[in-house]
A and B are shown apart, each in its own frame.
Chain A
Amino acid sequence: LAKTTQPISMDSYEGQEVNITCSHNNIATNDYITWYQQFPSQGPRFIIQGYKTKVTNEVASLFIPADRKSSTLSLPRVSLSDTAVYYCLVGDKNYGGSQGNLIFGKGTKLSVKP
């Protein structure tokens, strides 16, 4: 079962780029890396997912080195509304099945200041 480690909290200012790194040393060959965002009293929201190298969408980029033992979520030019908890997850592969269990770590609480 792949376990993730990420910083408990980070502070930033509006307009800055924020990079949150996650370690997942025991990632399995077929596992994907997924990042979610959660605001207080709301369900998590999918941000981005990747398997290797770099993935970019309209809200973030995900950098994954060749060994896949870590990943970095990059948020360009953050705003106050990006203040949230960000979770890095690695799929819990169910051999022979497709349960896709998600095991949430403690996440990174990002605080964006004006």
Chain B
Amino acid sequence: GAVVSQHPSRVICKSGTSVKIECRSLDFQATTMFWYRQFPKKSLMLMATSNEGSKATYEQGVEKDKFLINHASLTLSTLTVTSAHPEDSSFYICSARPIGLAGGNNEQFFGPGTRLTVL
């Protein structure tokens, strides 16, 4: 099956530092990748849609200058949390949508998530 990896799986950083999270589709190509965040016992919240070769589309309330997204290739998207603060501590999950799906077909493959803790 299609596999999506994330790196790192867990990161602890000091307040004010920046953290980069990588999302890779290992055996398929994806022009579109998605970034979610999930707080404890809550549902996933879509942060942004990452499109290869173009700017990401951010959901309302998500600061694009704080959460920098780069989709450099058909298999890699990165999320950088800039100047991280304790309230940014969360579980960040990416997903990838394989090329060629029909408009209404919303099958996505999710990465294992990255646990970010900001001290």
Where chain B touches its partner, the secondary structure class is: strand
Query: Could you say which interface size class chain B belongs to?
Result: 20 to 34
| Stretch among B13-21, B64-72, B74-82, B108-116 lining the A interface | B108-116
Where chain A touches its partner, the secondary structure class is: loop
Complex Cα–Cα for A100 and B32 (A): 9
Query: Could you say which interface size class chain A belongs to?
Result: 20 to 34
**Chain A hits for B108, CB < 8 A:** 46, 100, 102
A44 close to B110 (CB less than 8 A): yes
Complex Cα–Cα for A102 and B91 (A): 17
B49 close to A101 (CB less than 8 A): yes
CB nearest to B44 among chain A residues: A104
Select B105's contact among A42, A45, A100, A106, beta carbons within 8 Å. A100
B106 close to A92 (CB less than 8 A): yes
Given contacts A102-B34, A102-B95, A105-B43, contact A43 B112 (CB under 8 A): yes
Q: Residues of A at under 8 Å CB distance from B?
A: 28, 30-32, 34, 36, 41-46, 49, 51, 87, 89-94, 97-107
